[in-house]
């Protein structure tokens, strides 16, 4: 099986090691991984800001870059939702592009989703034995893609104790441009979420933007909780097991 990795902007700029861990993990599971060098932003910021023409340009470019990929895998629920849910809507008025977008949507998966649903793997190893893990459900992964159990299953089966977090499924307040346009509300939402966070050994999520936001608020509040992208945690689960 062969996949094309769409590393995403945040993966490229802030979580390069997590992107590399995603490659290591997929290869360890017997998957060949390509990295198309022409990939760029999926266009979600432009789409959310109402810059439809720019978002269309990025969507058409992404369709060309991943045209021949058997599967497209992203270590990001948010960008996966852009390809799967938003591209077909964005390109609905162009019949040819719409067909390409719906085809790409059917071949596109968030990393944990791909491992569980396509590879049929639910046990990566026991590398998280004894670790108390808090999982943040990003809004796009949870509400647009319907991903809830896949990451939890992989973490739990690797020996992690998933802490009981009242606000695990609440929005963290990041929301890309939302945090820029309404920073006071955005920070209040993050603080509300973190007020309910127990004392885990680490906090993880499939969405880098949410992790950056929550990590910043944790530091501001003087709380020392390691924050780690899901791809790296899953690689640790496999490598340590």
Q: 98 forms bridges with which residues in the sheet?
A: none
Predicted local distance difference test score (pLDDT) of residue 218? 97
Give domain limits for the chain: 2-118, 132-240
CB 106 within 8 A of CB 173: no
Query: Does the pLDDT at position 153 exceed 90?
Result: yes
What does the alpha-carbon distance between residue 89 and residue 83 come to, in Å, rounded to a whole number?
10
- Kindly report, residue by residue over 25-68, the tens digit of the pLDDT: 999 999 999 999 999 999 999 999 999 999 999 999 999 999 99
Predicted local distance difference test score (pLDDT) of residue 240? 85
Query: Does the pLDDT at position 241 exceed 80?
Result: no
Residue 211 token pair: 């992790």
Predicted local distance difference test score (pLDDT) of residue 177? 85
Predicted local distance difference test score (pLDDT) of residue 176? 83
- Kindly report, residue by residue over 83-114, the tens digit of the pLDDT: 999 999 999 999 999 999 999 999 999 999 99
Torsion of CA 81, 82, 85, 91, to 10 degrees: -170
Query: Does the pLDDT at position 152 exceed 80?
Result: yes
Q: 71 forms bridges with which residues in the sheet?
A: 3
What does the alpha-carbon distance between residue 6 and residue 25 come to, in Å, rounded to a whole number?
15
What does the alpha-carbon distance between residue 155 and residue 12 come to, in Å, rounded to a whole number?
24
What does the alpha-carbon distance between residue 45 and residue 2 come to, in Å, rounded to a whole number?
29
- Kindly report, residue by residue over 186-213, the tens digit of the pLDDT: 999 999 999 999 999 999 999 999 999 9
- Which comes out higher in pLDDT, residue 175 or 107? 107
Strand order, beta sheet including 132-136: 161-162, 132-136, 202-205, 227-229
- Kindly report, residue by residue over 113-149, the tens digit of the pLDDT: 999 999 999 999 999 999 999 999 999 999 999 999 9
Phi, psi of 116 (to 5 degrees): -80, -50
Cβ contacts of 95 within 8 Å, gap of 6 or more: none
């Amino acid at each position: 099986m062969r996949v094309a990795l769409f590393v995403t902007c945040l993966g490229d700029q802030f979580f390069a090691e997590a992107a590399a861990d995603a490659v290591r993990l997929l290869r360890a599971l017997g998957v060949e991984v390509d990295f198309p060098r022409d990939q760029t932003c999926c266009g979600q910021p432009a789409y959310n800001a109402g810059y439809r023409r720019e978002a269309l340009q990025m969507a058409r470019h992404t369709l060309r870059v991943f045209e021949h990929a058997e599967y497209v895998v992203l270590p990001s629920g948010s960008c996966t939702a852009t390809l799967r849910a938003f591209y077909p809507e964005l390109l609905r008025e162009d019949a040819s592009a719409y067909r390409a977008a719906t085809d790409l949507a059917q071949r596109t998966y968030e990393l944990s989703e791909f491992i569980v649903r396509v590879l049929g793997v639910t046990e990566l190893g026991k590398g998280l034995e004894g670790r108390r893990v808090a999982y943040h459900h990003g809004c796009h992964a949870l509400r647009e893609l319907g991903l809830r159990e896949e990451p939890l299953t992989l973490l739990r089966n690797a020996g992690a104790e998933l802490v009981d977090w009242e606000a695990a499924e609440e929005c963290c307040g990041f929301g890309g441009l939302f945090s820029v346009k309404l920073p006071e509300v955005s920070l209040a939402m993050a603080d509300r979420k973190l007020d309910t966070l127990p004392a885990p050994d680490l906090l993880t999520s499939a969405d880098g933007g949410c992790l950056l936001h929550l990590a910043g608020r944790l530091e501001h509040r003087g709380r020392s909780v390691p924050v780690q992208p899901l791809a790296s945690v899953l690689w640790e689960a496999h490598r340590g097991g």
